[in-house]
A and B are shown apart, each in its own frame.
Chain A
Amino acid sequence: MNEVDGTAVRMVQDPTQTIPAEATKPEMKVQLRTEGVNFYYGKYQALHGIDLDVYRHKITALIGPSGCGKSTFLRTLNRICETISHTRVEGKILLDGEDVMELDVTSLRRRVGMVFQRPNPFPKSIFDNVAYGARINGLHRQKRIRDIVEESLVRAALFEEVKDKLQQSALALSGGQQQRLCIARALAVNPEVLLLDEPCSALDPIATAKIEELLFVLKDTCTMVMVTHNMQQAARTAEYTGFFLLGRLIEFDKTDTIFRNPSKKETEDYITGRFG
Chain B
Amino acid sequence: MATSQAVVRPANRFFRRVREGNEIAYTITVICAASILLVTVLLVFQLWNNSGIARHKFGWSFIGSQTWDPVNEDFGALPLAFGTLVSSALALLIAVPSGLMAAIFLAELAPPKASDVLTFLIELLAAVPSVIYGLLGIFLLVPILKDHVVPVLKSTLGWLPIFSGPFYGYSMLAAGLVLAIMIIPFIVSVSREVLLAVPVEQREAALGLGATRWEATWQIVIPYASRGIYGSIFLALARALGETMAVTMVIGNNPKIAMSLLAPGYSIAAVIANEFSEASSAMHAASLTELGLVLFAITVIINGAARLMMLTTAEHAK
Q: Mark B192-230, 1 if CB is under 8 A from A, else 0.
A: 000000011111111111111001000110011000000
| Chain A-chain B contacts (Cβ-Cβ < 8 Å), number | 68
* Contact residue among A85, A114, A171 (Cβ-Cβ distance under 8 Å from B208): A114
Chain B nearest CB, measured from A104 CB (Å):
9
Q: Mark B96-117, 1 if CB is under 8 A from A, else 0.
A: 0000000000000001100000
Contacts of A106 in B (CB 8 A): 210-212
Contact indicator B207/A113 (Cβ below 8 Å)? no
Chain A nearest CB, measured from B318 CB (Å):
6
- Stretch among A16-24, A130-138, A221-229 lining the B interface: A130-138
Closest partner residue, chain B, to A82 (CB atom):
B207
Contacts of A108 in B (CB 8 A): 210
**Does any Cβ of A come within 8 Å of B317's Cβ?**
yes
* Contact residue among A107, A116, A137 (Cβ-Cβ distance under 8 Å from B205): A116
Contacts of B220 in A (CB 8 A): 122
Residue picked from B201, B205, B206, B211, most chain A C-beta under 10 Å: B205
**Does any Cβ of B come within 8 Å of A120's Cβ?**
yes
Contact indicator A185/B210 (Cβ below 8 Å)? no
Whole-angstrom distance between the alpha carbons of A132 and B220 in the complex? 10
Contact indicator A122/B204 (Cβ below 8 Å)? no
Whole-angstrom distance between the alpha carbons of A171 and B316 in the complex? 11
Closest partner residue, chain A, to B200 (CB atom):
A83
* Contact residue among A109, A116, A169 (Cβ-Cβ distance under 8 Å from B210): A109
Contacts of B205 in A (CB 8 A): 116, 120-122, 182, 185
Whole-angstrom distance between the alpha carbons of A123 and B202 in the complex? 9
Contacts of A120 in B (CB 8 A): 199, 201-202, 204-205
Closest partner residue, chain A, to B317 (CB atom):
A123
Contacts of B317 in A (CB 8 A): 123, 169, 171
Closest partner residue, chain A, to B204 (CB atom):
A80
**Does any Cβ of B come within 8 Å of A172's Cβ?**
yes
Q: What are 16 of the A-B contact pairs (CB < 8 Å)? A: A80-B208, A83-B204, A85-B112, A106-B212, A109-B209, A110-B210, A116-B208, A120-B202, A120-B204, A122-B224, A123-B317, A136-B210, A136-B211, A137-B210, A169-B317, A172-B318
